[in-house]
Amino acid sequence: MGLDAPAWRRCLWAAAVCLLGLGQGAPIHAASVAPLTGCPDKSEDELHPAAGPELSPAALDLRFRYGTKKVKGEKVAQELGPLVRAALNDWAGFAEEHDFDVVVSDQAEHLVLGVARETVLRRAVEVMDQTHALLDPLLPPTGERKQRAVIAFLFDSQGFSSDGWPALLEALGEQGVLVPAAVSGLAEDPTGLLIRNRALFLQPTVDMAGDASNGDDEFRLDNEMAQQFTQCLTELRAGPLPPVLRWGLGYVAENALFDSVYTFNRAGFVASGDHFDWGQKARQVLEKHTGREALVFAQEFLADASAGRADRPQIIAWGCLEYLRRTDPARIESLLRELGRAHRVNDTLGISGQYRGSTGATRAALEAHLDGIDTKLLSRTLKDR
């Protein structure tokens, strides 16, 4: 299945990313263009807001779905978390002007704005809720970057043809989130986009690249929502991570929630077998590597070229993370904290969209947290999924 951007546009975006030292990799259907702004002014109030802002007049007057009810902001203002209130203040006027439906989670601080069927938007929030519940015990409670609500913008086919799509691109360009080449390219050829540093993503609700009538049925919105949300949430809570680890956490969510993987960082056809039975695939690799030939798990996590692909390193990394999720989740949190410290040594301003930890520090952190995993117990645990 083809990746979402034509070659010329991907080259322009890649050049912008390289020049600015920004984000690396993104799910299929969601080419990664990281923001131009980070969080250089990191006061305690900005990083970890307590009470947060009051709702603006536009947000107080906005009607949105909250839990099972459709309400005005003024009715639930005291129930909303500070990060959601800030997000609503930023986007309420825009949503009203361009006829976006808004669905706000009543479980955690994330929301969806979209030009699509409300049932689809509500399901998207439900998947975000489920993913948050799964990942929350694994992640550090706060990050070193400015905290914000995760926002997903969803569009169906008609939504991409509405005035809401170019208006959103223009708004993100004015905010410095998108480079001009991305604004013009996306306006001409709409597709998905993941912007981890700003904890937001633009998500099609329909397959923009495949042709299901010809057997090219690679799109699962639930899986993409889980992966995109995971990558945003982990960056908020832990900062940039090594690519195989970052994608691996997304695959923990996809496999745990849907028993399948449908979000890949690659262009072209994806074999049907790549979507399923990752536990079996991991066990087959483990059975071939015993004794002196045992796998060095840290090395698998360092194989950046395999990030987001159904390759051995990515599958083994997922297996290790899934094993720790079920047996020792605190070890994942500890690993993320240590990698965060390694990253910050080389990103003192906190503006990089890529993981900057040195190879030595990264390997040391991985070895300290992974070397104790018993291969046989790992294989047995994956078999019991």
Measured in whole angstroms, the distance separating CA 286 from the mean position of its chain's CA atoms is: 28
> What CATH code would you report for 7-238?
3.40.30.160
pLDDT one digit per residue (tens) for the chain, 385 residues: 333 344 434 444 444 433 333 333 344 333 333 333 333 344 444 554 557 799 999 999 999 999 999 999 999 999 999 999 999 999 999 999 999 999 999 999 999 999 999 999 999 999 999 999 999 999 998 756 689 999 999 999 999 999 999 999 999 999 999 999 999 999 999 999 999 999 999 999 998 765 444 445 678 999 999 999 999 999 999 999 999 999 999 999 999 999 999 999 976 678 888 999 999 999 999 998 876 566 899 999 999 999 999 999 999 999 999 999 999 999 999 999 999 999 999 999 988 999 999 999 999 999 999 998 999 999 999 987 6
Orientation angle between helical segments 312-327 and 278-288, nearest 10 degrees: 100
Across the chain, where does the E strand assignment appear? 30-32, 63-66, 69-72, 101-104, 110-115, 150-155, 192-195, 200-204
Place of tokens 């305690």: 44
Q: In this structure, which amino acid lies at residue 293?
A: E
Distances in Å between the alpha carbon of 83 and those of 51, 67, 133, 225?
9, 17, 17, 20
| Domain coordinates in residue numbering, the chain | 7-238, 272-383
Q: What is the pTM of this model?
A: 0.88
